[in-house]
Amino acid sequence: MAARDAMTPDLGSVLTLTASLTLTEKAGLLSGADVWQTRAVPRLGIRSLWMADGPHGLRKQRGDADHLGIGESEPATCFPTAATLACGWDLELAEQIGAALGREAAASGVDVLLGPGVNLVRDPRGGRSFEYFSEDPELAGRLGAAYVRGVQAQGVAATPKHFAVNSQETRRLTSDSVVDEQTLRELYLTAFEIVVREAAPWALMTAYNRVNGVYAHEHRDLLTRILREEWGFDGAVVSDWGGTDDPVASVRAGGTVQMPSPGWESVRRIVEAVQRGELSEADLDARVTEVLRLIDRTSNRGAAPIVDLDAHHQLARHAAATCAVLLRNEGGILPLSPDARVALVGAYAETPRYQGAGSSIVTPTRLTSLRSAAEGVTAFAPGYRIDGTTDAALLAAVTDAAASADVVVVALAVPAAHESEGIDRPHLRLPDGQLAALRAAAATGTPVVAVLAGGGPVETPWRHEVAALVHGHLGGQAGGEAIWDVLTGRVHPTGRLAVTMPAGELSPGFPATGRVARYDERLGVGYRSGRAAAFPFGFGLGYTSFELSDLEVTPDGAAVTVRNVGAAAGTEVVQLYIAREGRATPELKGFARVRVEPGAAERVELPFTARTFRRFERGAWRSLGGEWEVRVGRHSADLPLRAVLAIDGEDTPGGDTVTRAASEEGWRPPFDRNTPLDQLVHSPSPLVRLLVRAVLRRKARADLATEPDLDIQFIASAPLRTIHTMTAATSEVTNAVVRIANGAGLPAWGALLVALARGPLLERRTRRAFGAAR
Ligand code: BGC
């Protein structure tokens, strides 16, 4: 990035610069030069922007670039993932982690950090939930905003993603999220709205999916009417990698940059659309200005900072420990007594699960395991294999280890193959082998402390068989030390669940496997479903206890007294919910962390916001008049303090649900450019069927492996358009492939050959017109 300062426009000159660009140069700024960089225009001193994942650690790639975390990346601190951090309900901590990520990005010359993920966890089986904060928009939005503030204070752009309604990985590049307007606004958009209004991110990434029939990157309602005009976003909207279909429609709708490089075809199409009068130059200029402003904003950070990697490791450790959620602690077995003889069981204690798979994968600067951190344990037994199986010898060793100890700590984890970008979790059960090891330990009569790793909930029908249960989620590179800190009491766990741990029953029909994902549960997501939970949203214990009292409610907010009635200092997370007739459950509207010394009390304020009493009804936000119940407590199922507040509102509830029609037809011929590759097994062409079956066989083999194969997952469900949106091939190539897949014979093959030959000539011509060096 040596050229940073020399090639940097200042904001004042952004408009002049836009006017100095040729039409081809303007169009050229709106798509990537390669997998991670935008194009530069050296003659005007416009540098390229460097973008990199990701949400919980920098992934600046070395060598061959890919966007799925397959290639090596430079070592960086692997912080706990968003699902873990969210359990802190700690805005200061989220900002600190954001700042640390921003520092590492700035030190590596990265301008745009591709995070945080603020999609809602619609269903705990979402395979990418580990990258998202919560099932609740207020919590996700506030944490996302804090994180963005931290990143951007370092002069690096944050990129909240994936806007919007990207709740499943299955068919993510083609799926249509069909959701009524009230649910869209109150749940899925609110998290983004909070981030945009409170933290003004300089960039934002669109989702792969369609929203009510329109691809997110081409969605004018989302990108212009709501994001820019209503919320005041003035940054750049970046597509997800391969998430654009029509580059002209994207520019018109408000999509700024298409990533990764689609070659020069999008440039040609934008230029031609302007020349034909199909795209206004004003729309084009607006997008160009957004790119230039992003360059400007990321150009003022001065010399690259020196990163203190030890300090970042310690921050990661502190975050993982304080965000750990203590779900059960019978007889106060935790913290472990210093004299206790402790046995350790579980292959995951040695081979930690500490992050998820996909584009967010970080190469950690170091890695600790529970086993390496756990000093003085009397015995270790793996108990099961990482593939989820066990055998008599492994179980016998568990019995021996547990029988001679005072406490046995059993490490359990969601298998890596279940939790990845690109796939959803088949179920929430832990593998039989892990449970057999847990039960073998419990059968000895020695109290069991179960320690869980994974980016989301698991079923816990075995929870009554253990004395204690700690959910550490995915703790990042220092997760092993952090859990030991918690078990020994060096750090008190203060985590509260940001996603409900279900008791069994889940929504039917997740994930949708066809073209359409219908959000029929509407607002009934997570705790709002009213379903029984094993551990409710907001729940978490500590090493002391609290009493809440003296609720006082004014039109500006609520206040309560938090008294520490235990023997140790500790932190409570006080939660404010609002209830009103017509809604199944109270809804979270505020929270505060408070540290209280033993025997002491603190008064805690929970201010109302512009969102507290609003509802989206009949096409608009309305502050509804009437009586609202204000409830305060420790978690969504324990809200003992209540007061009724009369609000002078403008209207009364009515409710509407506008759901645009969506086609649910399957993918049968005739196929088009948006048909996923795996659906071509229905092609009339025997050759196409043969090739696709070969891909599917490879995928079936990969599905059985213990680590996900993201390459094949991506390829199998990629729509045909990715041939030209993610490579330098032209759309003529895609069109010819579509014809072949539809059974057209020799003429289509001829067209393919012509397209393959013509493509490089067209590319060279556009590249020259842009003035690029190669
Ligand atoms: C992911 C994004 C990521 C991008 C670049 C995509 O597959 O969905 O979250 O930022 O790749 O790696």
Confidence check: pLDDT of 243 > 90: yes
In 3D, which of 293, 297, 271 has the Cα closest to residue 284? 271
Residues 510-542 have pLDDT tens digits of 999 999 999 999 999 999 999 999 999 999 999
For domain 544-647, give the fold: Immunoglobulin-like (2.60.40)
Confidence check: pLDDT of 122 > 50: yes
- Per-residue pLDDT band at 11 (split at 50, 70, 90): low
**Ligand 1 atom closest to Cα of residue 59:** 12
Residues 367-397 have pLDDT tens digits of 999 999 999 999 999 999 999 999 999 999 9
Confidence check: pLDDT of 557 > 80: yes
Confidence check: pLDDT of 774 > 60: no
527 CB less than 6 Å from ligand 1? no
**Ligand 1 atom closest to Cα of residue 54:** 10
One-character DSSP codes across 687-716: HHHHHHHHHHHHHHHHHTSSS--HHHHHHH
**Ligand 1 atom closest to Cα of residue 260:** 5
Max alpha carbon distance in the chain (Å)?
85
Instruction: Give the range among 59-68, 135-144, 512-521 with minimum mean pLDDT.
Output: 59-68
Q: Are 43 and 37 in contact (CB under 8 A)?
A: no
- Per-residue pLDDT band at 662 (split at 50, 70, 90): low
- Per-residue pLDDT band at 16 (split at 50, 70, 90): confident
**pLDDT computed for residue 386 by the predictor:** 95
**pLDDT computed for residue 773 by the predictor:** 55
53 CB less than 6 Å from ligand 1? yes
Q: What is the DSSP letter of 571?
A: E
Greater pLDDT, 62 or 547: 547
**Ligand 1 atom closest to Cα of residue 172:** 8
Q: What would the two tokens of residue 209 be?
A: 């999916």
Output phi, psi for 437, to 5 deg: -65, -40
**pLDDT computed for residue 3 by the predictor:** 40
136 CB less than 6 Å from ligand 1? no
Nearest CA to ligand 1 atom 12: 67
- Tell how far the Cα of 769 is from the centroid of ligand 1, in angstroms: 30
161 CB less than 6 Å from ligand 1? yes
In 3D, which of 86, 187, 101, 99 has the Cα closest to residue 143? 86
- Per-residue pLDDT band at 135 (split at 50, 70, 90): very high
**Alpha helices, H only, 243-385:** 247-253, 265-275, 281-297, 309-322, 370-373
Instruction: Give the range among 457-471, 562-576, 710-724 with minimum mean pLDDT.
Output: 710-724
CA-CA distance, 671 to 327, in Å (whole number)? 50
Give SS3 for 654. Answer: coil
CA-CA distance, 276 to 145, in Å (whole number)? 41
Does the annotation count 296 as an active-site position? Answer: no
Average pLDDT in the chain: 93
**pLDDT computed for residue 1 by the predictor:** 31
**Ligand 1 atom closest to Cα of residue 208:** 8
Confidence check: pLDDT of 657 > 50: no
- Tell how far the Cα of 185 is from the centroid of ligand 1, in angstroms: 24
Residue 238 bridge partners (DSSP): 205, 257
Confidence check: pLDDT of 182 > 90: yes
In 3D, which of 361, 381, 349 has the Cα closest to residue 481? 349
Q: Which residues have a Cβ under 8 Å from the Cβ of 277 and sit 6 or more positions away? A: none
131 CB less than 6 Å from ligand 1? no
- Tell how far the Cα of 360 is from the centroid of ligand 1, in angstroms: 8
- Tell how far the Cα of 243 is from the centroid of ligand 1, in angstroms: 10
- Tell how far the Cα of 207 is from the centroid of ligand 1, in angstroms: 9
* Identity at 725, one-letter amino acid code: T
**pLDDT computed for residue 653 by the predictor:** 55
622 CB less than 6 Å from ligand 1? no
Q: Are 570 and 496 in contact (CB under 8 A)?
A: no
The stretch 459-472 carries a mean pLDDT of 97
67 CB less than 6 Å from ligand 1? yes
- Tell how far the Cα of 678 is from the centroid of ligand 1, in angstroms: 21
CA-CA distance, 301 to 113, in Å (whole number)? 14
**pLDDT computed for residue 707 by the predictor:** 78
The stretch 200-217 carries a mean pLDDT of 97
The stretch 27-50 carries a mean pLDDT of 96
296 CB less than 6 Å from ligand 1? no
Instruction: Give the range among 80-89, 417-426, 642-651 with minimum mean pLDDT.
Output: 642-651
**pLDDT computed for residue 260 by the predictor:** 95
CA distances from 511 to 46, 72, 185, 191 (A): 44, 31, 21, 22
Confidence check: pLDDT of 435 > 60: yes
CA distances from 376 to 50, 52, 398, 446, 449 (A): 46, 41, 17, 18, 16
According to CATH, where is 3.20.20.300 located in the chain?
4-297
The stretch 190-219 carries a mean pLDDT of 97
360 CB less than 6 Å from ligand 1? no
241 CB less than 6 Å from ligand 1? yes
Nearest CA to ligand 1 atom 5: 67
For ligand 1, mutation pick of 118, 241, 423, 715 (most atoms within 8 Å of CB):
241
Nearest CA to ligand 1 atom 7: 241
Half-sphere exposure for 328 (CA within 13 Å, toward CB): 19
The stretch 101-107 carries a mean pLDDT of 97
- Provide, rounded to the nearest whole percent, the portion of the chain with pLDDT above 70: 95
**pLDDT computed for residue 644 by the predictor:** 95
CA-CA distance, 45 to 445, in Å (whole number)? 72
**pLDDT computed for residue 277 by the predictor:** 97
Confidence check: pLDDT of 656 > 60: no
172 CB less than 6 Å from ligand 1? no
According to CATH, where is 2.60.40.10 located in the chain?
544-647
The stretch 663-677 carries a mean pLDDT of 82
According to CATH, where is 3.40.50.1700 located in the chain?
316-526
Q: Which residues have a Cβ under 8 Å from the Cβ of 46 and sit 6 or more positions away? A: 7, 9, 17, 29, 40, 292, 295
In 3D, which of 591, 542, 539 has the Cα closest to residue 565? 542
For ligand 1, mutation pick of 34, 50, 53, 206 (most atoms within 8 Å of CB):
53
CA-CA distance, 158 to 138, in Å (whole number)? 19
One-character DSSP codes across 467-528: SEEEEEE--GGGHHHHHHHHHHTSS------SS-EE-S---TT-S--SSEEE-TTTT--GGG
- Per-residue pLDDT band at 63 (split at 50, 70, 90): low
> Domain 4-297 carries which CATH code?
3.20.20.300
Nearest CA to ligand 1 atom 4: 241
Nearest CA to ligand 1 atom 8: 240
Global pTM reads 0.95
Residues 603-648 have pLDDT tens digits of 999 999 999 999 998 889 988 888 999 999 999 999 999 999 998 8
Q: Are 387 and 706 in contact (CB under 8 A)?
A: yes
- Per-residue pLDDT band at 7 (split at 50, 70, 90): very low
In 3D, which of 294, 308, 162, 309 has the Cα closest to residue 241? 162
Q: Name the CA radius of gyration of the chain, rounded.
A: 27
- Per-residue pLDDT band at 652 (split at 50, 70, 90): low
Nearest CA to ligand 1 atom 2: 240
716 CB less than 6 Å from ligand 1? no
Q: Which of 53, 240, 245, 283 is catalytic?
A: 240
* Number of residues that this document lists for the chain: 774
CA-CA distance, 145 to 141, in Å (whole number)? 6
For ligand 1, mutation pick of 34, 114, 360 (most atoms within 8 Å of CB):
114
Confidence check: pLDDT of 70 > 90: no
> Domain 316-526 carries which CATH code?
3.40.50.1700
**Ligand 1 atom closest to Cα of residue 714:** 7
In 3D, which of 187, 121, 211, 123 has the Cα closest to residue 510? 123
- Tell how far the Cα of 161 is from the centroid of ligand 1, in angstroms: 9
718 CB less than 6 Å from ligand 1? no
Instruction: Give the range among 230-244, 320-334, 402-416, 669-683 with minimum mean pLDDT.
Output: 669-683
**pLDDT computed for residue 2 by the predictor:** 32
**pLDDT computed for residue 46 by the predictor:** 95
**pLDDT computed for residue 661 by the predictor:** 53
